[in-house]
Structure 1
Amino acid sequence: MPSTSACAESSTNELVLKTIAPRAPLNLLARPRLSADDANFRDRQISLVQAPAGYGKTSLLAQWRREYLARGIAVAWFQADERDDAQRLLRGLELAVRTGCARPSFGGMLLDGALASVGTLDGATAWLAEVAQMSLDMLVIVDEAERLPESGAQVLAYLLHNAPQNLRIVIAARRGLETAVFDLLAYGHAVLVGPEMLRFRLDETIALVAGRFGDRVDADACARLCEITDGWPLGLQFALSAMARAADVRQAIEHAATGPGRLREHLVTTLVANLPAEDNHFLIRASVTEVLHPDLCIALTADPGARERLARLVNDTPLFVTAEHSVWCRLQGLVRDALLERLQTLPADERAQLHQRAAAWLAAHGLIEEAARHAHAAGHHQDAYELAERCLHHAVTEGQLSAALDWLALIPEAELEQRPRLRLAIAWALALGERHNEAGCQVERILLASDSEATLRYECALILSAAAYYADEPDRFLALFEPWAEAPPASASWLAQAHANRLAARAMLFDEPAQARRFQHDVPRGEVGKGLGYVIRWGDHMVGLSYLHEGQLRLAEDILVPALASAEEDLGRRHPLTCMIAATCAAIAYEGDRLDEAAGLLANRLDMLVRAATPETVALAYCTAARIAAARGKEHRALDLLEAMHALGMSRRLPRLCVVSLAEQVRMHAGRYRAQTCDALVQRIDEIVSGAVDRGPLWHKLVALPQALAHADAAIASRNWQHALEGLALAQRLADTMKMGRYRIEIMMLRAFAEHQSGGDGRALLLEAQNLAQTFNAKRTLIDAHPALADWAQSLSEEGTARAFASPQIMRPSARAQTNGPRAVPSVVLTPKEREILELLARNLTNKEIARAATVGEGTVKWHLKNLFGKLDASSRKHAVRRALMLGLLEDTV
């Protein structure tokens, strides 16, 4: 039988192992928004990380540990488990401080058991008191705190509520933290990091993938990967592992999204391998619905215990996405896709019954559109059509356009004849996209089948005008809307905001961007109603476009960035309106010389813009993407994008896209004086414009400016400066008339350049243009106008004649001086001289060599080594170095 001392020694050894921080994950990505130095965490004494398994909690703790060590703060780590009652937890925290802070004598009183008879809270008080008396700042990390028994959890809560000023505490758990420290959260003393914060955003996904695959994966593929995994850290890890084994990384991403579910099936098989058969049975049947509620699960499975089963699976597995303070949840996207494949293997009758149960429950709880889809899947078509008629028009006003288009494929024409409101919703969805021609047919049938009351005729006019707007027929747009512009039917509904949006678009066509903003400001948005953020975001988009039109980039960004965040949250990242706002934000980011941000905003969105965006936004997105490629030295990619826009204009019969594409190509070639290429492109532009006889005067006005600029750029390419000045003068008049401020600045710069090349003095004009560009944050304007112009401006700046924008410089951090071994991390655990001695020790130097390098005597070296051995609990020189590396006090420079 083992002795008591042997058992105690074994228990202590187990606790020591629990105080060793785990190895940092391979390719750990430090996320700046989750940095310990971020404003959300910098001044918080208590940080709580709570999320299901698979969300990267331990990775975040490893990042924070590394950051705190780099700031010179001692870090103690403790891994909790079910055995850590109050007394054992305190013993573990004592050892954690000893190990992590190199204080071998810390907490001897508790470890000797002197306080065991007094009480655990008294022991916790003694631990806190000893921490408070330490001459250093310290961070204590407790991982997997949800595993603590009740007594251990009580002690941990006591420590959180009574932590001294020199102590920060980070707790990670799967659940239950917000309840124990509700008061600390309420008063702002603690911060809670939940699943949504831990999800990877697009920029973080791009950085993560770039760290593994470099330039082999572009931003579009990264955005696709982020969409597939929904930013789920565990899903990303599985995807990266699959990509590492693939010969074609991009193909692997697409295969994971649309191909057979090898990645999804492997992921689910791994996650549910140890679950009981009853849980697998439950998960497969629960996957029939997109969202889950405990009562819905009971209805689906006819199992009274489904509520408890769902709660347990949410707590114990990483399969679900949850929302704070809500009983609703959903399966992770990859997981649900795999489970749906398994669902298809069930008998058809059972699947139909599941859909029928889901439809009944959802309809009873007001989720009509979801109920309609399940009723149709169950074979109850008439019930499905009635439900769809009840909700679809309202769904469209909320921006759910794809839902209406899906129903168009499901509902027979005979049913649409009997349900005009359903046809009205479908007409709206068709008008706002590439199928705008079909919207007219639907509206015609609506008007023929009804008594044509004023409100209905007005709404039909809005639909037809929207279709004309998407068809790039501004003259027809005005003709359809003009009868209603000044006298719309009285309405306090969403139509009031829709009417303001039309008035704003009309004002823009009349070259009155300030009027467009006034129309938006006059709408009492509080009366529009809840759930109508879609039409409101359209209004924000119009306001942002009006500012962009004038060149007021800062004001446009102030409006559009919050609108984009709201649209992504309410509508989704790839919703057409979200993509349009993102394209406008990308143009603004590009002008501000933030190329990576602009590329991220456009990533995996061009295809959606092609299908369902206004021509103006499509042109803006393609030109921005092309300029980003050119700025990165990929002119061939830029020209390919512009040719793709030209092809789109040809196939969709949108000649303005062709004109803008060719004009942008002229600008690029003019920068390299390719005169013949520019002349050929200009000839094609003139042919397109002269051949557009079916277009009205408003359309011709819109293409006049890019056409005039193309002629001027071609003259610059030929070095025909007189013709260039004449063309720029015409372009200047057009830009002034249309109040297009950004183009006006570019034209002023080109005029100054042409005057300089023809023997005149354009310096004053250049200085004025540069001053305006600086005011509006148009940093790329000078660089993009013409490379020789940027060079001239740079030479003037060097002469002190004018203040010009220099070419964008990439700021790189200075390289750290290379050493022949690990580098000591600044820390209050070791003195500066001890850190110096430790570095020299890590280079395998003798005491004499260390003394010579540190300019001290050999006796002093021995004294410092003795202190190091004691603090690091080391028995040899090599042991001391290994212990320092393990504790994060040494950093490998390789």
Structure 2
Amino acid sequence: MPTDSPSTELVLKTMAPRAPSGLLARARLHAASMPGAGSQIVLVQAGAGYGKTSLLAQWRREFLARGAAVAWLLADERDDAERFLRALVHTVRAACARPAFGRLIVDSPGAPAGAFDLATAWLAELAQLSLDVVLIVDDADRLPPSGAALLDYVLHNAPQNLRIVAAGRQGLDKPAAELLAYGQAGLVGPEALRFRVDETIALVTQRFGARVDADSSARLFEITDGWPLGLQLALTAMSRAQDPRAALDNLAAGPRGLREPLVAALLSELSSEDERFLVGISVVDVLHPDLCAALTDDPDAPQRLLRLARDTPVFVTAEESDWCRLHPLVRDVLQTRFAALADTQRADLHRRAARWLGARGMLEQAARHAHAAGEREHAYELAEQSLHDAVKQGQLGTVLDWLERLPEPELEKRPRLRLAVAWALALSERHSEAQRQVERVLASSGADDALRYECALILSAAAWYADDPDAFLTLFEPWAQTPPARDSWLAQAHANRLAARAMLLGEPAQARRLQQSMTREQIGKGHGYLVRWGDHMVGLTFLQEGQVKLAESVLLPALASAEEDLGRRHPLTCMFAATCASIAYEDDRIDEAGALLANRLDVLERAALPETVVLAYRTAARIAALRGDEHRALDLLEMLHAMGVARNLPRLCVTSLAEQVSAHAGRYRAQTCDALVARIDAIVDEHAAARGPIWRESVQMLQAMAHGSAEMARQDWRAAIEPFERAERIATTMKLGRQRIALMALRAFALERASGEGHAPFLEALNLARTYHLGRVLIDAHPELADWARRVSEDGQTPPGERPVVPPHVVRPPPRSATGGPRALPSVILTPKEREMLELLARNLSNKEIALAAAVGEGTVKWHLKNLFGKLDASSRKHAVRRAIALGLLEGVQ
């Protein structure tokens, strides 16, 4: 190492990149709190386009803000051991403002064999610094073998004051396996770097404000699958358009919209052979090296796949797995090019895919490819073998897709296929079609008790989705005491039905006991969908009783698991999200509740239980009202009413109208309330006679509550008491905890206004609301109940230490950005006085002006500036400011 002055390229390699102006600092990725990121050694490993460098830039700012010196190094293929060590010396010099650091190392004769001895000297000198140092090595996977070995040596011998963050696309975890195993290092993978839907909403809001709503942001998340590069490309395209929402609609329209130019930019640098390879393998959903070899008939295909996965940002890879997939944005565009291939070429690729997938037990995928290849009979055979299992695994959309492909004669020949179709239809808005399919199954020969039992389960599910609880009980009751074998997949389905039966009969605790009697091992692997239905039942029972914290403890983990396995827009995932959103709203986590519902209401309309649909729309309407969009809240409730009409679910219509009555009663709009109550009465009169007692009881509670609210809107307080009492009795019988507390408080309010005797029942309602953590129950029932609760709290009637029952929620504006002048960040590199001098220097003050501002003499100013210039390796005042900005020691300079 013959010279002490760094080359130009070393200077550029050790300069940290400028953080993007639109960088969103994601709270869960903070270096101090992220799992794995708190270790002394942190490895960030993900494919291209996952935002590794942006994350490192975010962490660099955090480390600087905590006073550490941050050394940055961009590695490349030329960094052998000697060159890499020279770069390490220079980056520590620049970061720590120690121009003399490593002088003996630089002056030592360089030789590859002696690089490790010199690295030891580098570590020892670093350990003697009175500084906490963070070394960030980006693109560490590009290091040649000798440079990688030197980095590995540094990782295993880092002193206490050195923290190392290394980032790369692949291969970093293998040399550091021992450090990872013993907890001395943390690994951050692609799943952690993917944007979540709430982060996508925050990013889009940061860029476009109110011009793009949460639903559109969630759609963008689903289009890009949270892929940071895909999000960035999409946001860039949207920012160039006059209407960003229209640009997003264009992007969502498919590959012939904005996707083609976006993806074309990613693929433009590929060779024609690589592009042909990607077009060919885009025929399949998931990729494996051996599958690619079978598709292309090329023994080198696995190596080509590995290279493209490493060098191009078009693949989604899994940690410690050979399986990967093309990113949805990219695959959609590639499939348009695949469609342009000759018919014989496409059919051959489908045929090859069907053979390979079928041989490995992936029967449904093999069936789809066989059908596309024209091998219809083989496709129907594979579908018959696989679709019943697909139902057990929750792949209902897959089964309904096959319904479009299957001719009626094939269903007649294959009753097992018809049974799978009936299941998928029953668990959706198409429950009447399910009944017809079941009738055809039962009409076939060989309908034994086991088949009749499964058909009863299908029909009871259809009745539940049709919001006919009495029919559900009638259909299931003959089989309730004859459960299937405990090792059958139907055992969990039977337990779910028993739990639903107990809920409808007003026994939620009994429903939970029945679920707990089923151990997860009894149903076998691959049936997690059925288990999640059990979790949903348990969560609903807690929610029915008003036990929101207990409900959340069950539903939140189930939601995370369902999103990972079934996808964000799977019907069961959306039902979990709706229940979790209602809980988040109750706990005053309004933004979280909105994110949970974003771009999910349409799925809930088509394929959710009526009770869950009500929860979702009611929560969405209350969120809109809370944000000051009363017209949007009323529109959502009218949409719920329209859906009730379209799906012939009159209870949804009554719920919508009752919720509107409550909203208008809070503003004493008596005539509007009377008109809505008249509509409720008409619906009840029309449908009550044809319905059973359970349905009638639930609707009569809503009807009585609406009548009480209408009387309250007229301020006829005495007339409001009786309907509220009647509704409260029904809520108590049905064990509806939140509704009972709301009705108790409303009755107390009417009593207080009528005779001054409502204080005692109101205190009881208040106490119950605190006990069950129902934070918004009173303010949702009537605004003046919230004022009454506040007065009670101010009068000292709230026990000490208890949380307020009415959350002081106002939609919080984003924090204002700092508007002051230049600010020197806390750092161990500069003394407090030097930081003060640096700030004054950045304001272009003369020495005399700095002396007056700092209340020191001009000589003292000159002495501090001399030390500052030396630490920053600067030759002038302007140079010192620019060096401080580059090192992250100064911000706020224009």
Cα distance change of structure 1 residues 105 and 371 upon mapping to structure 2, 3 Å threshold: same
Match of 1:109 in 2: 104
Cα distance change of structure 1 residues 97 and 723 upon mapping to structure 2, 3 Å threshold: same
Question: Which shows bigger deviation, 550-559 or 760-769?
Answer: 760-769
Provide Cα deviations, 1:266-323, integer angstroms capped at 9, x if missing partner.
Answer: 2322222222211111100000000011111111111111111111111111111111
Match of 2:413 in 1: 418
Provide Cα deviations, 1:5-39, integer angstroms capped at 9, x if missing partner.
Answer: 8xx68962211111110111230111111111115
Normalised to the residue count of structure 1, the TM-score between the two structures is 0.97
Amino acid aligned to 1:252: A
Does structure 1 conserve the Cα–Cα contact (< 8 Å) formed by 2:848 and 2:858? yes
Deviation at 1:188, TM superposition (A): 1.0
- 1:845 counterpart = 2:845: yes
**What SS class does the counterpart of residue 438 from structure 2 fall into?**
helix
Match of 2:150 in 1: 155
Match of 2:397 in 1: 402
- 1:721 counterpart = 2:717: yes
Deviation at 1:251, TM superposition (A): 2.2
- 1:786 counterpart = 2:782: yes
Question: Which shows bigger deviation, 378-387 or 117-126?
Answer: 117-126
Match of 1:268 in 2: 263
Deviation at 1:196, TM superposition (A): 1.1
Match of 1:889 in 2: 889
Does structure 2 conserve the Cα–Cα contact (< 8 Å) formed by 1:818 and 1:893? no
Q: Which whole-Å CA distance do the structure 1 matches of 2:420 and 2:813 have between them?
A: 53
- 1:387 counterpart = 2:382: yes
Does structure 2 conserve the Cα–Cα contact (< 8 Å) formed by 1:511 and 1:737? yes
Deviation at 1:490, TM superposition (A): 3.3
Amino acid aligned to 1:575: H
Q: Which whole-Å CA distance do the structure 2 matches of 1:491 and 1:409 have between them?
A: 35
Match of 1:696 in 2: 692
Note the aligned Cα RMSD (angstroms): 1.6
Which of the residues 280, 283, 290 maps onto 2:285?
290
Q: Which whole-Å CA distance do the structure 1 matches of 2:234 and 2:85 have between them?
A: 40
Provide Cα deviations, 1:53-87, integer angstroms capped at 9, x if missing partner.
Answer: 11101000000001111111110101111111111
Deviation at 1:690, TM superposition (A): 1.1
Does structure 1 conserve the Cα–Cα contact (< 8 Å) formed by 2:84 and 2:147? yes
Amino acid aligned to 2:338: L
Q: Which whole-Å CA distance do the structure 1 matches of 2:317 and 2:814 have between them?
A: 40
1:581-660 equivalence runs, <5 A? 581-660=576-655
Does structure 2 conserve the Cα–Cα contact (< 8 Å) formed by 1:458 and 1:488? no
Match of 2:17 in 1: 22
Match of 1:502 in 2: 497
Amino acid aligned to 1:326: S
Does structure 2 conserve the Cα–Cα contact (< 8 Å) formed by 1:552 and 1:776? yes
Deviation at 1:134, TM superposition (A): 0.5
Does structure 1 conserve the Cα–Cα contact (< 8 Å) formed by 2:620 and 2:636? yes
Question: Which shows bigger deviation, 719-728 or 549-558?
Answer: 719-728
**What SS class does the counterpart of residue 179 from structure 1 fall into?**
coil
Deviation at 1:752, TM superposition (A): 2.4
Match of 2:864 in 1: 864
1:451-490 equivalence runs, <5 A? 451-490=446-485
Q: Which whole-Å CA distance do the structure 1 matches of 2:633 and 2:812 have between them?
A: 25
Match of 1:878 in 2: 878
Q: Which whole-Å CA distance do the structure 2 matches of 1:117 and 1:652 have between them?
A: 76
Question: Which shows bigger deviation, 17-26 or 538-547?
Answer: 17-26
**What SS class does the counterpart of residue 171 from structure 1 fall into?**
strand
- 1:706 counterpart = 2:702: yes
Deviation at 1:223, TM superposition (A): 0.7
Deviation at 1:767, TM superposition (A): 2.6
**What SS class does the counterpart of residue 174 from structure 2 fall into?**
helix
Q: Which whole-Å CA distance do the structure 1 matches of 2:34 and 2:760 have between them?
A: 44
Deviation at 1:167, TM superposition (A): 0.6
Q: Which whole-Å CA distance do the structure 2 matches of 1:691 and 1:326 have between them?
A: 59
Amino acid aligned to 2:792: L
Could you tell me the percent identity over the aligned residues?
Answer: 66
Match of 2:730 in 1: 734
Match of 2:657 in 1: 662
Does structure 1 conserve the Cα–Cα contact (< 8 Å) formed by 2:212 and 2:244? yes
Question: Which shows bigger deviation, 415-424 or 264-273?
Answer: 264-273
Does structure 1 conserve the Cα–Cα contact (< 8 Å) formed by 2:434 and 2:462? yes
Question: Which shows bigger deviation, 769-778 or 275-284?
Answer: 769-778
Amino acid aligned to 1:220: D
Deviation at 1:259, TM superposition (A): 4.1
Deviation at 1:488, TM superposition (A): 2.9
Deviation at 1:114, TM superposition (A): 4.9
Amino acid aligned to 2:711: A
Cα distance change of structure 1 residues 783 and 79 upon mapping to structure 2, 3 Å threshold: same
Deviation at 1:588, TM superposition (A): 0.7
**What SS class does the counterpart of residue 253 from structure 1 fall into?**
helix
Question: Which shows bigger deviation, 347-356 or 763-772?
Answer: 763-772
Match of 1:764 in 2: 760
Match of 1:753 in 2: 749
Provide Cα deviations, 1:377-421, integer angstroms capped at 9, x if missing partner.
Answer: 000000000000011101111101111111111111111111000
Deviation at 1:815, TM superposition (A): 6.2
1:122-137 equivalence runs, <5 A? 122-137=117-132
Q: Which whole-Å CA distance do the structure 2 matches of 1:245 and 1:355 have between them?
A: 39
Does structure 2 conserve the Cα–Cα contact (< 8 Å) formed by 1:116 and 1:123? no
Q: Which whole-Å CA distance do the structure 1 matches of 2:438 and 2:113 have between them?
A: 83
1:497-536 equivalence runs, <5 A? 497-536=492-531
**What SS class does the counterpart of residue 758 from structure 1 fall into?**
helix
Question: Which shows bigger deviation, 720-729 or 574-583?
Answer: 720-729
Q: Which whole-Å CA distance do the structure 1 matches of 2:254 and 2:97 have between them?
A: 53
Cα distance change of structure 1 residues 815 and 359 upon mapping to structure 2, 3 Å threshold: closer
Which of the residues 261, 270, 279 maps onto 2:274?
279
Question: Which shows bigger deviation, 792-801 or 330-339?
Answer: 792-801
Match of 1:258 in 2: 253
Amino acid aligned to 1:606: L
Cα distance change of structure 1 residues 491 and 458 upon mapping to structure 2, 3 Å threshold: farther
Does structure 2 conserve the Cα–Cα contact (< 8 Å) formed by 1:763 and 1:802? no
Provide Cα deviations, 1:433-468, integer angstroms capped at 9, x if missing partner.
Answer: 011000111111111112221100000000011111
Amino acid aligned to 2:217: C
Which of the residues 209, 213, 216 maps onto 1:218?
213
Deviation at 1:796, TM superposition (A): 3.2
Amino acid aligned to 2:736: M
Q: Which whole-Å CA distance do the structure 1 matches of 2:657 and 2:813 have between them?
A: 37
Deviation at 1:489, TM superposition (A): 3.8
**What SS class does the counterpart of residue 100 from structure 2 fall into?**
coil
Deviation at 1:854, TM superposition (A): 1.4
Deviation at 1:816, TM superposition (A): 7.8
1:159-170 equivalence runs, <5 A? 159-170=154-165
Q: Which whole-Å CA distance do the structure 2 matches of 1:552 and 1:694 have between them?
A: 33
Question: Which shows bigger deviation, 137-146 or 807-816?
Answer: 807-816
**What SS class does the counterpart of residue 67 from structure 2 fall into?**
coil
Deviation at 1:809, TM superposition (A): 4.7
**What SS class does the counterpart of residue 428 from structure 2 fall into?**
coil
Deviation at 1:519, TM superposition (A): 0.9
Deviation at 1:775, TM superposition (A): 2.0
**What SS class does the counterpart of residue 168 from structure 1 fall into?**
strand
Q: Which whole-Å CA distance do the structure 1 matches of 2:228 and 2:890 have between them?
A: 29
- 1:796 counterpart = 2:773: no
Does structure 1 conserve the Cα–Cα contact (< 8 Å) formed by 2:627 and 2:811? no
Q: Which whole-Å CA distance do the structure 1 matches of 2:336 and 2:750 have between them?
A: 65
Match of 2:335 in 1: 340
Q: How many residues align structurally?
A: 888
Question: Which shows bigger deviation, 296-305 or 741-750?
Answer: 741-750
Structure 1: stretches of 5+ with no match in the other structure: none
Does structure 2 conserve the Cα–Cα contact (< 8 Å) formed by 1:626 and 1:637? yes
Deviation at 1:833, TM superposition (A): 0.8
Amino acid aligned to 2:762: L
Cα distance change of structure 1 residues 29 and 117 upon mapping to structure 2, 3 Å threshold: closer
Amino acid aligned to 2:699: V
Question: Which shows bigger deviation, 854-863 or 286-295?
Answer: 854-863
Amino acid aligned to 1:462: L
